[in-house]
Structure 1
Amino acid sequence: MHLVVLILLLFLSVTKVNKSSITNVGWHYGPSVYFETPLLTYTDPELTASIRANVNFADDRYLNYYYGIAPQDSRAQRNEFNNQSGYAGADLSFGINFDTKKYWLGGFVKYHHLADSKQQQSPLVKKNSNVSLGFGIAWKFYTQQGN
């Protein structure tokens, strides 16, 4: 069965958690299109592939936390930079999941591009795009009976 989903993602970015406080550096959000399909049909374990495309937006606190340069931190080779809320680039990812009764394995490749975003002008940005890889494994120590 193919699954296509259009969702709106809303993330609160937290950078520091201690006993008495949580530091919020801003919001990161945007629409996302997600497509998932099985590679091996009617099998156990399941092998699925997915593709996800995101258009990213963020508020000024989030963008300035990662890309901003305060006046006291500016230097001759690194000018002051203050970002505004808005478009924050786009990304495309491809993932593969291998799901058994006892284990889950997954991996992804993600391409992120700052195309025409304000933070692209930050002195901290050296490249307008990047590729990241990820891999995970989980051991299922409990599953609901009948599933």
Structure 2
Amino acid sequence: MTRPPPSPLRRLALAAALVLSAAGPALGQTEAAPPARAQERLPLLEMGILGGGGYVPDYPGAAQSRLRGIVSPSITYRGELLRADEFGARLRAWRDGGVEFSFSASGSFPVSSRENRAREGMPDLDWMGEIGPTLRITLWRDPAAPRRVMLETPVRAVFSTDLSNMRFRGWVFNPDIAWEQRDLLIPRSRFRIGLGVVLANERFMDYFYGVAPEFARPDRPAYRARGGYLGTRLQFSYRVPVTEHLSLIAGARFENFAGATNADSPLFRRDFNVSVAAGFSWTLYRSTDTVAATADPLE
């Protein structure tokens, strides 16, 4: 008898167990203040250039991946309410001890259907952006070193644009539990490894996996996608300062789509995707206004 695939809640529970086990018995400790950093202060605002590239799948569950790259202005802002760096931006609406309610955003590259065999003859996948609220909870913090275990529960509205118009594409829920650490191997480095699941509504799923009748063909029947479980993600990032102005960034993501709600879509081609990326951040300007690095070395 074949066992049914684990439910999304069970997958998240397993993810939590794996990451929390790394912290060992210390998880029983309460939230503690981060260690002092010898009166060090950091610029409130930094501006420069961010560039990078990677080898990424065309979309979740795609059979094809390709090299992509981008260069853009970068902003690092260490405000009490607004935080921004090369990993993203968030607006902290409320914070109390180890719990924070904020708004965050992310995005992804477009895909030309002419370059993807499964989507040939279908509309392109446009640039996508996500924005929404996130509850961030510090489950454990080492009182003697800048490292912690975090639970994040982002709920995001998804939009697509071809740069001439914008369309709403649904909702995504991506709970994630992660280990974050500063000064791993190299002073002032930042490391993060997280494990989580991805759930989405019908509208979002249909954008990737739906096939309208006018685009059906013998090897690609019409298909109406359903909302539900999309996959499980394991991802990490590592940022290393090389000089006062230059930092290098590397990361990877491993995605498992076994048991996905729309695994029977003709556009769903792979149960496993891998993404790798590397980049740099070059600082051109630093403000004279500063903030204490002791405020929170993990922020």
TM-score by length of 2: 0.44
Contact 1:39 1:47 in 2 (8 A): yes
Distance 2:163 2:184 in 1: 43
- Post-superposition Cα deviations, 1:71-103, rounded to whole Å, max 9, x if no partner, equal 221112111111111111111012211135423
Distance 1:26 1:88 in 2: 14
Give the aligned partner of residue 257 of structure 2. Answer: 114
Distance 1:119 1:103 in 2: 43
Give the aligned partner of residue 150 of structure 2. Answer: 5
Give the aligned partner of residue 76 of structure 1. Answer: 218
List 4+ stretches of structure 1 deviating above 4 A. none
The answer to whether 1:66 aligns with 2:208 is yes
Contact 1:51 1:93 in 2 (8 A): yes
Give the aligned partner of residue 35 of structure 1. Answer: 179
Distance 1:94 1:22 in 2: 31
Distance 1:14 1:64 in 2: 13
Amino acid at match of 1:118: T
Using the TM superposition, give the Cα deviation of residue 29 of structure 1 relative to its aligned residue in structure 2, in angstroms.
1.6
Distance 1:125 1:18 in 2: 27
Q: 2:284 aligns with which of 136, 141, 145?
A: 141
- Post-superposition Cα deviations, 1:10-36, rounded to whole Å, max 9, x if no partner, equal 2332221546x4212122222111211
Which structure has more RCO (C-alpha within 8 Å, separation ≥ 6)? 2
Q: Gapped runs of 5+ residues in structure 2? A: 1-145, 292-299
Distance 2:159 2:212 in 1: 20
Amino acid at match of 2:250: G
The answer to whether 1:52 aligns with 2:197 is no
CA RMSD, Structure 1 to Structure 2 (Å): 1.9
- Post-superposition Cα deviations, 1:99-141, rounded to whole Å, max 9, x if no partner, equal 3542332111110111211121111122111100112212223
Distance 1:4 1:17 in 2: 38
Q: Gapped runs of 5+ residues in structure 1? A: none
Contact 1:17 1:23 in 2 (8 A): no
Q: 2:232 aligns with which of 75, 90, 95?
A: 90
Give the aligned partner of residue 161 of structure 2. Answer: 16
Distance 2:244 2:279 in 1: 16
Greater shift in the superposed pair: 30-39 or 57-66: 30-39
- Greater Rg by CA: 2
Distance 1:29 1:101 in 2: 37
Amino acid at match of 2:212: A
Distance 2:212 2:237 in 1: 38
% identity of equivalent residues: 25
Distance 1:115 1:131 in 2: 14
The answer to whether 1:130 aligns with 2:273 is yes
Using the TM superposition, give the Cα deviation of residue 64 of structure 1 relative to its aligned residue in structure 2, in angstroms.
0.6
Using the TM superposition, give the Cα deviation of residue 47 of structure 1 relative to its aligned residue in structure 2, in angstroms.
2.1
Amino acid at match of 1:13: V
Larger strand proportion of the pair: 1
Amino acid at match of 1:32: D
Give the aligned partner of residue 37 of structure 2. Answer: none
